Structure 1
Amino acid sequence: MNPVDIYLQHLAAERRLSPHTVAAYQRDLAQLGQLSAGKPLAELSVTDIRGAIVRLRGKSLSAASVARHLSSWRGFYVFACRRLGYTHNPCLGLRPPKAAKALPQVLSPDTCTQLLNGAQPAAEDDALQARDRAMFELFYSSGLRLSELADLDLNDLDLQSGEAEVTGKGRKTRIVPVGQQALSALAVWLQQRAPLARDDTPALFLNQRGTRLTPRSIQLRLKRWALQAGLNQHVHPHLLRHAFATHVLQSSGDLRAVQEMLGHASISTTQVYTHLDWQHLAKVYDQAHPRARKKS
């Protein structure tokens, strides 16, 4: 049995990877053989692996695809050095090309206003409409993650101080401000909530059965709400979080404050919104500056 087959058997039998994943490793290793002109894998050098990466990039593969290939090759050589007597790992020290970070899509302030004000409550569905309006106002007001909003309990909300205590990633808690529009919508929902509540559930947002609303249900309700508001784009909860961060940063310029409100552990995560803000400024410049406009 050749070294690649032994490795693939190890992946399937010992690591219990799925057949689909094992097949992906097999393809990546077969491609390494092709890219190195059939040279035995045991004889490949760092230079050979670098050349294979260059050839992959020459085929217009994305940085993510090249990174996956390199990960597959590195995994094989780690196994081969430990179990098959290979004397060196030619992938050591090689880094995959950096993938360009896709900037998140952002709703404009006008679009957010259309979304939050556009859907009018139906007479037979007042409680659910009040709940949805409160949820989506809170998303935009406070920049919450979907899981954070779904996990909110009644005692996490303080209408008097205009704040909410949120439990984020790693079970870390933070205090976020709640805007006036969201406070008003929450007050209306809390009046409607009491008759729906079941078994003294602590959840802030409930379904028709009186139990905690699931994240998936919140996603579906937002999608429906956006359609009712006449938006012709896919709106998901994280889009409102992006809108919150971008609009606060555009108005205040305070990156540290936005980091704290979003609950980001690192400022580098928050810095993506500075790029979004720059895109906005660049667009305004292109439209307004006489030296930036193209001659007609």
Structure 2
Amino acid sequence: MTLQDACQSFLSHCRSAVSLSEHTLRAYTFDLEDFQNHAQHETNLSLLNKDDLRKFIRHLREERKLKEITIKRRIACLKLLFRWVQQENMISINPFDNLNERIRLPKRLPRALGSEEIKLLTGAINLEATDKEFQEFVTGIATKLLLTTGIRVGELVKIDIEDLVLPDCSLKIQGKGNRQRLVYLFEPKLNQAIARYLTIRLTRATETKKLFITEAGIPFTTQKTRILLGDLASKAGIERRITPHMLRHTTATQLLEAGLDIRYVQKLLGHQSISTTEIYTHVTDHGLRTALKRTYRD
């Protein structure tokens, strides 16, 4: 079997059996195409070895000068490919088994909004908007929901109307790997705004069951959400670029600083491993360290 055929079979498996998101499938397709271009599409899959992988890593690092985090993603995708083809008995030896290559990532704390930025952003959210201010209204609700629950932007755009149970203050989220979880909405103003939005939404010509729609009745996409959030942040007077993922980091950091048990934060964010959530404890420690330094310096 050729490398190209193996990649196509693997992507078909990911699309049908694993049900990965379109965003992840696009990333996998791009990463695998990159390796095929380097190793030749028609190369026999069984002839590929650890030296070919080393050459690819050197090519990415030394010739193309890609960042380590990009290289790590490429290699992670290839690991999944070769693990799958070995499980499917397409190869007998996995070239990754004896590969001793370490890709070191620089330690970087998640970017979260500062207290002043949070005030500016929340101050720009209009939860009292009218029917004539539909886009402003729905943008405010979506932003407030991201900031209150810490859900991912990809999870936000997948919310159906039936996922929302306002009397119970709960919202069902379809997370990564089709794992479902509940988040809770205990802020009265947000709940009231959502209830009013659902009434206004009935006046819009749309057939979608998705909760968030544009003025034209088109479901929110991740890109549209990023644009609307960026416009809102700019309107609020925030100079740097604000992304939905920064709101997620902000939520996690605030909850831990407020004393919420890390296991609850893990469950709220939908992290499969608590080690992923633990990075936010470093953020809060970093914030404490910075604040103390500033205090004693002043």
TM-score band, normalised by shorter chain: 0.5 to 0.7
Q: Who is 2:136 aligned against?
A: 129
Residue number among 103, 109, 114 corresponding to 1:108 in the alignment: 114
- Quote how far apart the aligned CAs of 1:285 are: 1.6
How far apart in 1 are the matches of 2:141 and 2:129? Answer: 15
Q: Distance in 1 between matches of 2:191 and 2:135?
A: 17
Moved more, 253-262 or 124-133: 124-133
Following TM superposition, by how much is the alpha carbon of 1:15 offset from its aligned partner in structure 2, in angstroms?
A: 4.8
CA gap of 1:158–1:287, structure 2 versus 1, over 3 A, is same
**Residue 96 of structure 1: aligned partner:** 102
Cα distance in 1 for partners of 2:70, 2:141 equals: 42
Task: Sort the Cα spacing of 1:188 and 1:124 in 2 relative to 1 into closer, same or farther, 3 A.
Answer: closer
Partner-residue secondary structure (3-state), 1:202: coil
177, 194, 197: which is aligned to 1:189?
197
Whether the 8 Å CA contact 1:142–1:179 is kept in 2: the answer is no
SS at match of 1:164: strand
Task: List alignment gaps of at least 5 residues for structure 2.
Answer: 1-35, 45-51, 77-94
> Contact 1:106–1:242 at 8 Å: present in 2 too?
yes
SS in 1 for 2:40: helix
Shift of residue 288 of structure 1? 2.6
Residues 142 and 177 of structure 1 are in contact (CA less than 8 Å); yes or no, is this contact kept in structure 2? Answer: yes
TM-score (norm 2): 0.67
Partner residue of 1:11 out of 39, 43, 62? 39
* Structure 1 residue 110 displacement after superposition: 3.5
User: Which residue in the other structure is 1:288 paired with?
Assistant: 295
Seen in structure 2, the aligned counterparts of structure 1 residues 126 and 63 have a Cα distance that, compared at 3 Å, is closer
- Which structure: larger Rg? 1
- Name the SS of the counterpart of 1:160 in structure 2: helix
Q: Which runs of structure 2 are paired with 1:1-296 in the superposition (5 Å)? A: 11-15=39-43, 25=55, 28=58, 92=98, 94-96=100-102, 98-118=104-124, 125-180=132-187, 181-199=189-207, 201-289=208-296, 293=297
Q: Is the 8 A contact 2:147 2:248 kept in 1?
A: yes
CA spacing shift, 1:288–1:153, aligned 2, 3 Å: same
Give 1:52's aligned residue. Answer: none
SS in 1 for 2:203: helix
Query: Could you tell me how far apart the structure 1 residues matched to 2:163 and 2:146 are?
Result: 15
- One-letter amino acid of the structure 1 residue matched with residue 116 of structure 2: D
Map Cα deviations across residues 161-206 of structure 1 (whole Å, 9 max, x no partner): 211010000111000011414323312322321111423x311111
Native 8 Å contact 1:222 1:237 kept in 2: yes
Greater mean alpha carbon deviation, residues 162-171 or residues 249-258: 249-258
Question: What residue identity is the alignment partner of 2:110?
Answer: P
Change in Cα spacing, 1:94 to 1:107, as seen in structure 2 (3 Å) is: same
Q: Is the 8 A contact 2:266 2:274 kept in 1?
A: yes
What is the SS of the residue equivalent to 1:271? helix
AA paired with 2:124?
G
The residue type paired with residue 256 of structure 1 is R
> Are 1:168 and 1:263, in contact at CA under 8 Å, matched by a contact in 2?
yes
Residues 20-79 of structure 1, C-alpha deviation per residue, up to 9 Å, x if partnerless?
xx9x947937x9xxxxxxxxxxxxxxxxxxxxxxxx9xxxx97669979x99xxxxxxxx
Distance 2:37 2:68 in 1: 28
Displacement of 1:92 in angstroms is 3.7
Q: Deviations over 1:129-171 (max 9, x none)?
A: 1111110010011111011100101111111121101000011
Q: 1:198 to 1:288 in 2, by over 3 A?
A: same
CA change 1:236–1:26 in 2 (3 A) is: closer
Query: Is the contact between residue 146 and residue 215 of structure 1 (CA under 8 Å) also seen in structure 2?
Result: yes
- Higher alpha-carbon deviation: 140-149 or 174-183: 174-183
TM-score scaled by length of structure 1: 0.67
RMSD (CA atoms): 3.8
